[in-house]
Structure 1
């Protein structure tokens, strides 16, 4: 069996375990965690005037970004949401203006409709199944975010957004995996120095 096959199986097993762990969190805990994480984010993540923040529209049992979205927009920040264009394509980010309707954008998520301004975020908030102490992120396996980040030419702050229970001891990382700059959870913020990233 090859190292690639072993790594694929290891990640697949970790995804299954992470899904089960996240699904076991109670609805009341999820709601409280979303509020706490939003407060931590706005207090800890530097957003300069005019910068654009990309969020995700939570699906299934992901940590909800709705309290954060409301808070950022109330503070006058520009917010965009990702759109899946195709299986092997990078994500497209559409600016969301208050009052504009959202439409299905792939995998059960919502985003501004076609015709909304397409932008490149300065701060990218990423959903995930797990993370480790080195800032490695366990995604869903489709590679949308890794592919997208690889094509953005300006510096982007990568912020994982998750429940603290999603931390694992060691995350197997591949060359194409993009490590995070920080993780925000209901328990606080974890920052990863460049030399700590794999």
Structure 2
């Protein structure tokens, strides 16, 4: 399913999920079709896709994972140079890898040394937007939500100019399949100005659609080990 379109034919970034998503054409769109049954259908479909994609990435060999992570770090470094002059002085929100996500920590340390203000997101209040705190190599970390290491409470809070979004799955129109908690979309909706958001994931995790719902916000760019794709409206 593609997103709702304006008069120019470009995606507006918002659309409604279909009922019985797997039984209809991917480009089907009914703007009046939002209801509880549809939301449940799409939630079940997304959960099944999360489980499938997470299982597939956990099966990657050590050699393949290291190769992909190196390629991702190189491509992200080049993207930051091309789009942000290296991002020196900017706040760059990264992530601490979990559940088979690409490990970008070597690049985080490199960016810190180059003068980029690296930050990590964390949950401080359940069902609220994420908070971002400064991170430095070697700093004392504490256990946050889901036991993810996060900066301590005395690390300064910051607002990101650039934010990474780890992807369980992704689409060519730059929608993200995450873990289902809604934190990332909730955070993007609350941030003003909104950061430039880079989705980071595996090429094999591409989906035809996630059947976008009204709260889903497209990323500015999706970056995988084979290249990057800019969101249509920013291309």
TM-score by structure 1 length? 0.92
Query: Helix, strand or coil: the match of 2:160?
Result: coil
Aligned to 2:13: none
Mark the structure with the bigger radius of gyration.
2
Query: Mapping of 1:1-198 within 5 angstroms?
Result: 2-45=37-80, 46-47=83-84, 48-194=87-233
Alpha-carbon distance in structure 1 between the residues aligned to 2:226 and 2:181: 28
Shift of 1:155: 3.0
Gaps of 5+ in 2: 1-18, 20-36
Task: Please say if residues 59 and 108 of structure 1, whose CA atoms lie closer than 8 Å, have aligned partners that are also in contact.
Answer: no
The Cα offsets for residues 73-128 of structure 1, whole Å up to 9 and x where unpaired, read as 23221100011113211111001134321221212321211110000101010112
Q: CA RMSD in A?
A: 1.7
Instruction: After TM superposition, give the deviation of residue 129 of structure 1 in Å.
Output: 0.6
Work out the CA distance in 2 between the residues paired with 1:83 and 1:170: 28
- TM-score normalised by length of structure 2: 0.78
The runs of at least 4 consecutive aligned structure 1 residues that moved more than 3 Å come to: none
Deviates more, 1:187-196 or 1:4-13: 187-196
Q: Distance in 2 between matches of 1:187 and 1:68?
A: 18
- Residue 49 of structure 1 and its aligned partner are, at CA, apart by 3.6
TM-fit CA distance, 1:191: 1.5
CA contact (8 A) 1:35 1:67 kept: no
5+ long unaligned stretches in structure 1: none
> Could you tell me whether the CA contact under 8 Å between 1:73 and 1:79 is conserved in 2?
yes
- TM-superposed CA distance for 1:176, in Å, is 0.6
SS of residue in 2 equivalent to 1:165:
helix
| CA contact 1:38–1:71 (8 Å) conserved in 2 | no
